[in-house]
Amino acid sequence: MNVQEANELIAHASELVDYQVSKRGLLETQLFPVTAYICVSFYNAYDMLYDILKKVSEKITPEQLGIESRKILSEIQALSIFYIPLYYMVGRMGEIHQNNGDPASQPLEKREETVFVLDFWKRLAESYFQGKISVSDSEKKNIAINQKDVDWTIDHLVDITKENAGNIKRTMANLEIVSFLDECEARAKLCDHGPYPINDNEILVFREISHLFDGKEPHFPWSETQATAPFSNIAFAYRLKDVNVEFDDFATMDTDPADFTNHITGAAIFTRDKDIVKPLDFDVLEGFNDYATKANKELFLRFSKWDRKQRLIAGAYAYCYGYARYTNQVSITSDFNWDLTDKTMKTYIPSFMESDFDPGIPRLMRSKAKKKREGPSLYLLPEE
């Protein structure tokens, strides 16, 4: 990829990032300084992501990684793919903004690293999304698995009553809550995908939840709880009738109607153990529900005792450890120090102890006229 090609990709990535930021807005919760730690994550990704992807690329091509990741309960999916341009490129934008908005302020080596990261993202995304680069570019569809897996799933769907549908969804919702909390109030453990047509008025959709604590290796240093899940991951597959769905680059599903419980005509649940996906009996949901309820209380109590600095570091760490999804695929995760970089700890943690907002972020929220005048939000590379 040359600089001109990289700039074309930067312009498109800017549109994707601008849209998602405008849609989601700024985030804050009772426990975590979410906007602040996300900003820290941007800069940390800009500091460390090149080294991660470079070493991954020495073991597997982005194209092969994309092909292999099209499966149920994959660590590499729409959200983890979108994290590449979102975090790395917004971190780059922030540093350029600090240097009077001059892209030439970045060293030549850093510019070359940026081209590499963009090239990796494009090749991976086009392989995974089968010629497209994002969910947004795929007519807001997140087609994450191949037809043989769709057919296999349909064969395992069980007709269910409205009462059973409600029970399944309640367990799923409780798991979402504890997953959200364990990620410092982010949705990195969750992935929605579909729609996969079944007939004229029915579709198949998935909601997947990964990295639950099953009593073995905790995902984060704080993830270990006395409560344990029956399995570390679970996929909920639903057959929906007369429901319209859209997906976004965060692998989030929007449905019309918003509550689709009464439109569920069939369901199945699955778990993955390495290369094997196996169906689960619905009886296992009781154990998942018990885990979710108890672990949520344990984690909330744990986090409530932390000060702002602990929460800020943990939130940024959780986001950046998301890139371990890549190193896991080639068994090199232990080769890296996943702590926040020295630069992040010395520069950005102190800065965001005092502020929740990065001065570069408004660049993502400019008017169309201003963007046309000033250029893409993520700053083009110098072409000299």
pLDDT in tens, 217-273: 999 999 999 999 999 999 999 999 999 999 999 999 999 999 999 999 999 999 999
Domain count, the chain: 2
Same domain, 218 and 323: no
* pTM across the whole model: 0.94
Long-range contacts of 193-196 (CB under 8 A, 24+ apart): 193/77, 193/78, 193/142, 193/143, 193/144, 193/145, 193/247, 193/251, 193/253, 194/141, 194/142, 194/143, 194/245, 194/247, 194/253, 195/141, 195/240, 195/245, 196/143, 196/145, 196/150
Mean pLDDT of 118-126: 98
Same domain, 333 and 296: no
Its domain, for residue 187, covers: 147-304
pLDDT in tens, 320-334: 999 999 999 999 999
Q: Where does the pLDDT of residue 28 fall: very low under 50, low under 70, confident under 90, or very high at 90 and above?
A: low
382 within some domain = no
380 within some domain = no
95 within some domain = yes
Domain boundary among 250, 280, 304: 304
Give me the residue label for tokens 């990295």.
211
From CA 76, how far away is CA 218, in angstroms rounded? 19
Which DSSP category does 301 fall into? H
Q: Where does the pLDDT of residue 29 fall: very low under 50, low under 70, confident under 90, or very high at 90 and above?
A: low
- AA letter at 184: C
Could you write out the DSSP letters of every residue in 11-73?
A: HHHHHHHHHHHHHH-----SS--HHHHHHHHHHHHHHHHHHHHHHHHTTS-HHHHHHHT-STT
pLDDT score for 302: 97
